[in-house]
Amino acid sequence: MLYASREEDGSYRLAGPPQFLRALWGIPTTLRTVLKNPEDHPEVSQRLIPLTYNDAEKEKELLRLTGEAMLERQLAKVAMFERILASSEEGMGAIRIAEKDFDAFIAILTDIRLVMASFLNIEDEEWEDNLTEEQLMEPWVAMLHLTSGIQQILLEATGMVSDLDIDPEVDL
């Protein structure tokens, strides 16, 4: 179904059904909404930018000093992710990720997984055991599985991750 490889120029190629790759287009909008409106999504914002200090005053001061820069960095990653999608051939079933953009692309997949985990109230690894049959069919659950699978096969394409036991025929 999905396949990732490292090309000779160091870039990565993610190939798969176009409808799976097109589903990634929802990620930038979702992340921008959460990042630009942290007060509307406090739990999600907390997962994306965790507290540094236990002391509320220190944390408030840190956010005053660095909050804008952190937000700009997060939004720059989102824009880069969007550029990759726009310049790729997802309609043809492939996305090319330049080597220099790989870490940020993976980071965005992690960020959206954190957002979805928050929306789904995931607190532990047995979260699926607590869902009804209907809940398992929710779009957020499907997207969480898709982004997890994409992240996994991209990491495996680096050659540095190989001991995880995921069967693409069953798990993706």
Q: What is the pLDDT of residues 88-128, one digit of tens each?
A: 876 678 999 999 999 999 999 999 998 988 888 787 788 88
Asked if residue 1 lies in contact with residue 10, where contact means CB atoms within 8 angstroms, the answer is no
* pLDDT (0 to 100) of residue 12: 96
* 127-142: b (≥16 Cβ within 10 Å) or e: eeeeeeeeeeeeeebe
49 pLDDT band (50/70/90 cuts)?
Answer: confident
> How distant, in Å, are the alpha carbons of 61, 83, 130 from that of 79?
28, 6, 35
What 8-state DSSP symbol labels residue 172?
A: -
